[in-house]
């Protein structure tokens, strides 16, 4: 896919996602845009694009199933049990949400008793891009707010304490993006998801603070992104678990892997 094709695709995807399509209807719309073929033929372009946009637009679709199924060498289009933090398992339903995640009612995640091990790297990378998009959605909301709202006769954006919080969020997101762009093995995917989860949670904390009371209401969109970040962080291993796993690997190998080179 060349740059022009990629840009066209991004535009089409964004349009579809912002046209309020979410859940099962977004799955259908993505299928119409050729998702299955994209995933088979150009996963390195399609996955970052689709998942990041899901985050940015605050929509959701069951496409994580396809990414994990494909990595497991199984036919796409179905569902499978996915590991969740704390040794639990969930299924991301495709049937129009019979049950939903308690925290984020728009995500059709339900707990299941158990599942079998599947390759996780591709799914972790995909979720990392989603978390990155969610982080950017929150940062954009906070940025708009601090530029518009005045207190003490000046824009909130002029207060250094808030500027530094938002700068912190930006740096975390940029670092996560670099880690996501550099991964091609299991360990790289693990670290990239940890970086993205951490960045999204850091961003959630700072943006929540910058938005003050309005950010605590259900009317303002921030809370949806905050909740999504929390739920996605736990999927296929939380930031905390992945970080610990990385540390355990260091202790086993007694040498730090250099995963990227010039």
Partner 1 sequence: MRVDEFRQGLRNWLDHHDLTPPPDDSLDAQVAQLNRVRGALWAAGWMRYGWPPRVGGLGGSGALRAVLGEEVASRSLAEPGIWSMVEVLVPTVVDYAPPTLAAELVPRLLAGREQWCQGFSEPGSGSDLASLSTRAVPDGDAWVVSGQKVWTSLAQYAARCVLLARTGGPGHAGISAFLVDMDHPGITVRPLRTMHGVDEFAEVFFDDVRVPAHRMLGGPGDGWQLAMDLLPHERSTCFWHRIAHLYATLDRLLADGCEADADALGAAWLDLHTVRCRSASTQRSLAAGGRLGPETSVDKILLATAEQRLFDTARDLLPGAVELAEDAAWRTGYLYSRAASIYGGTAEIQRNIVARRLLGLGKE
Q: Which of residues 171-190 bind partner 1 (CB under 8 A)?
A: 171, 174-176, 178-179, 181-182
Contact between 214 and partner 1 per CB under 8 A: no
Contact 36, 64 (CB under 8 A): no
| Shortest Cβ 19–partner 1 spacing (Å) | 28
Lookup: tokens for 177: 């993006």
Instruction: Show the site string, 225-254: x = touches partner 1 by CB under 8 A, - = not.
Output: ---------------x-xxxxxxx-xx--x
Contact between 78 and partner 1 per CB under 8 A: no
Q: Which of residues 151-170 bind partner 1 (CB under 8 A)?
A: 155, 157-160, 163-164, 166-168, 170
Could you tell me which residues come within 8 angstroms of residue 220 by beta carbon, excluding any fewer than 6 positions away? 141, 211, 214
**Would you say the C-alpha torsion 93, 68, 136, 5 has a positive or negative sign?**
negative
Contact between 146 and partner 1 per CB under 8 A: yes
* Residue 99: Cβ within 10 Å count: 12
| Shortest Cβ 227–partner 1 spacing (Å) | 24
Kindly write down the DSSP assignment for every residue of 107-125, as one continuous string: S-EEEES-------HHHHH
Contact between 260 and partner 1 per CB under 8 A: yes
Closest to partner 1 by CB, 11 or 174 = 174
| Shortest Cβ 159–partner 1 spacing (Å) | 8
Contact 237, 123 (CB under 8 A): no
Closest to partner 1 by CB, 161 or 218 = 161
* Residue 80: Cβ within 10 Å count: 16
Closest to partner 1 by CB, 29 or 196 = 196
Q: Which alpha helices (DSSP H) does the chain contain, by range? A: 3-18, 24-32, 35-41, 43-57, 63-71, 121-148, 160-182, 186-211, 222-234, 239-253
> Which residues in this chain contact partner 1 in the complex, by CB under 8 A?
143, 146-147, 155, 157-160, 163-164, 166-168, 170-171, 174-176, 178-179, 181-182, 191, 194-195, 198, 240, 242-248, 250-251, 254-256, 258-262
């Amino acid at each position: 896919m060349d740059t022009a094709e990629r840009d066209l695709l991004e535009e089409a995807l964004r349009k579809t996602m912002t046209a309020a399509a979410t859940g099962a209807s977004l799955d259908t719309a993505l299928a119409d845009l050729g998702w299955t073929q994209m995933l088979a033929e150009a996963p390195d372009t399609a996955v970052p694009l689709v998942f990041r946009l899901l985050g940015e637009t605050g929509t959701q679709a069951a496409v994580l199933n396809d990414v994990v199924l494909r990595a497991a060498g199984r036919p796409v289009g179905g569902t499978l049990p996915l590991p969740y933090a704390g040794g639990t398992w969930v299924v991301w339903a495709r049937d129009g949400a019979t049950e939903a995640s308690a925290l984020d009612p728009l995500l059709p995640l339900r707990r299941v008793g158990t599942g079998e091990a599947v390759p996780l790297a591709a799914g972790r990378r995909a979720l990392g891009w989603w978390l990155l998009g969610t982080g950017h959605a929150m940062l954009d909301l906070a940025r708009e707010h601090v530029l518009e709202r005045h207190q003490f006769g000046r824009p909130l954006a002029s207060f250094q304490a808030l500027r530094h919080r938002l700068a912190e969020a930006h740096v975390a997101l940029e670092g996560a993006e670099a880690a996501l762009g550099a991964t091609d093995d299991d360990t790289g995917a693990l670290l990239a998801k940890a970086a993205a989860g951490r960045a999204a949670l850091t961003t959630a904390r700072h943006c929540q603070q910058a938005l003050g009371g309005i950010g605590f209401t259900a009317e303002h969109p921030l809370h949806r992104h905050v909740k999504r970040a929390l739920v996605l962080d736990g999927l296929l291993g939380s930031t905390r678990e992945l970080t610990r796993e990385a540390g355990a690997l260091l202790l086993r190998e007694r040498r730090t892997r250099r995963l990227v080179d010039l």
